[in-house]
Amino acid sequence: MTVKAYGAHAGDQPLESMDIERRPVGPHDVQIDIAYCGVCHSDLHQVRAEWAGTLFPCVPGHEIVGRVAAVGAHVTGFAQGDLVGVGCIVDSCKHCDDCGVGLENYCDGMIGTYNFPTPDAPGWTLGGYSQQIVVHERYALRIRHPESQLAAVAPLLCAGITTYSPLRHWNAGPGKKVGIVGIGGLGHMGIKLAHAMGAHVVAFTTSESKRADALALGADEVVVSRNVEEMEAHARSFDLIVNTVAAPHDLDAFLVLLKRDATLTLVGAPATPHPSPEVFNLIMKRRSLAGSMIGGIAETQEMLDFCAEHGIVADIELIRADEINEAYERMLAGDVKYRFVIDNATLAA
Ligand code: NAP
Ligand code: ZN
């Protein structure tokens, strides 16, 4: 079936309207009418070929929400009309150790929602800036928020799970001091989630103008990371810092804020590496520098349910599909509070 989408034909070209094909609904598939799709900084990195290996045409988008339009004969978990989401994963090998424990995000055969190999035309996956998507039911998520919040739920599918997973893995909760670096799409979710988990949350931003917002989002304290004295006041005090920054920067400034045995986890994925941190800052207090990639399907469902229970959604700005190129420029300028979401109904225009 042919559907309308928004994508690019080359890394130096703007995104434009295009027609793409979706596969017929297989026995284990759900076909989803996409209502909204969030705009992740990864979409920009990929479609502008900042990371290696972008295949064109490229249709980004992995924060997908909508309604089930049809289900295959063997689908048991979903029915037509259900509110569902699709995040960054649309397939995996289903039998390795990682898939076996619900960590499909670390499966060597993980198929991402866009730019990964697939037998479907054109030979690689095409994402959520499109009217419909067809996925195996194992990779569809149930949405329990009220439908009126659907657009603001979309960013949970990547920004939400990418911050939720490291916060859970490194035990954010009562009695823990947790830092969130970079108050963008991921960072603003990190603040809300760490706060809801009961941690003492400190937001780090380069933007003086985000100070008040960060407190409103749930931070207990805010540090403008360019101010050396403000940074020094937190030396050796954190249990965990989750760093979402999308550009290379000095990691030592954050490592020295960790207590003994504490961890700085990188989730931001800049196109070029950060300068290597000072080894002594790791040795001295047995500190860890770690990374984390999105989250598995079961944990993504857990995160969505946690958010529904705690009334958590993203702070969004809804845009038309033809505003996407401008939205990318604004995202680069840090001018979004805090996630753009495409109204996919505008793809039909
Ligand atoms: P975003 O909305 O653009 O937010 C990034 C934030 O980083 C900005 O709002 C800004 O916050 C800060 N920042 C930007 N440039 C900076 C610089 N030069 N120095 C210091 N701070 C800077 O992006 P996002 O969608 O949250 O994504 C963030 C990164 O995570 C991207 O690289 C993305 O590809 C990656 N990502 C990784 C995963 C994963 O699985 N690990 C999943 C999704 C996304 P302040 O204004 O507060 O400083
Ligand atoms: Zn993303």
- Mutation choice for ligand 1 from 156, 244, 264, CB with most ligand atoms inside 8 A: 244
CATH architecture of 160-291: 3-Layer(aba) Sandwich (3.40)
Q: Is the CB of 296 under 6 A from ligand 1?
A: no
Tell which CATH architecture fits domain 2-158+295-348: Alpha-Beta Complex (3.90)
Q: Which residues surround ligand 2, an ion (CB under 5 A)?
A: 40, 42, 158
Nearest atom in ligand 1 to the alpha carbon of residue 246 is 32
What's residue 216's pLDDT? 98
Taking alpha carbons only, the member of 192, 145, 143 closest to residue 172 is 192
* Number of Cβ atoms within 10 Å of the Cβ of 237: 14
Any atom of ligand 1 within 6 Å of the Cβ of 121:
no
Which ligand has the shortest distance to the CA of 314? 1
Residues with pLDDT less than 70, the chain: none
Is the C-beta atom of 334 inside 6 A of ligand 1? yes
| CA distance from start to end of the chain | 18
The ligand 1 atom nearest the CA atom of 334 = 9
| Pocket lining: 160 vs ligand 1, CB cutoff 6 Å | no
Is the beta carbon of 206 within 6 A of some atom in ligand 1?
yes
Ligand 1: does its nearest atom lie under 6 Å from the Cβ of 4? no
Q: With beta carbons less than 8 A apart as the criterion, state whether 65 and 154 touch.
A: yes
The H or E element containing residue 297 is helix 297-310
pLDDT, tens digit (0-9, with 9 covering 90-100), for 299-324: 999 999 999 999 999 999 999 999 99
Computed from CA positions of residues 115, 137, 154, 99, in that sequence, does the dihedral angle turn out positive or negative? negative
pTM above 0.95, yes or no: yes
**Spans of all domains in the chain:** 2-158+295-348, 160-291
Residue nearest atom 4 in ligand 1 by C-alpha distance: 184
Ligand 2 centre from 98 Cα, in Å? 21
267 lines ligand 1 (CB under 6 A): yes
User: Ligand 1 test: best mutation among 37, 39, 42, most atoms within 8 Å of CB?
Assistant: 42
Give the ligand with the smallest distance to the CA of 164.
1
CA angle 149–153–159, rounded 5-degree value: 155
Q: Is any atom of ligand 1 closer than 6 Å to the C-beta of 294?
A: yes
pLDDT at 349: 77
Closest CA to 338 of 320, 319, 314: 314
Q: What pLDDT is attached to residue 133?
A: 98
Is residue 61 lining ligand 1, measured as CB closer than 6 Å? Answer: no
8 Å CB contact between 188 and 217: yes
Between the CA of 18 and the centroid of ligand 1 the distance, in Å, is: 28
Give the residue among 181, 69, 209, 90 at the shortest CA–CA distance from 139. Answer: 90
293 lines ligand 1 (CB under 6 A): yes
Answer yes or no: is the C-beta of 243 below 6 A from any ligand 1 atom. Answer: no
Q: H or E stretch including 254?
A: helix 252-255
> What's residue 155's pLDDT?
98
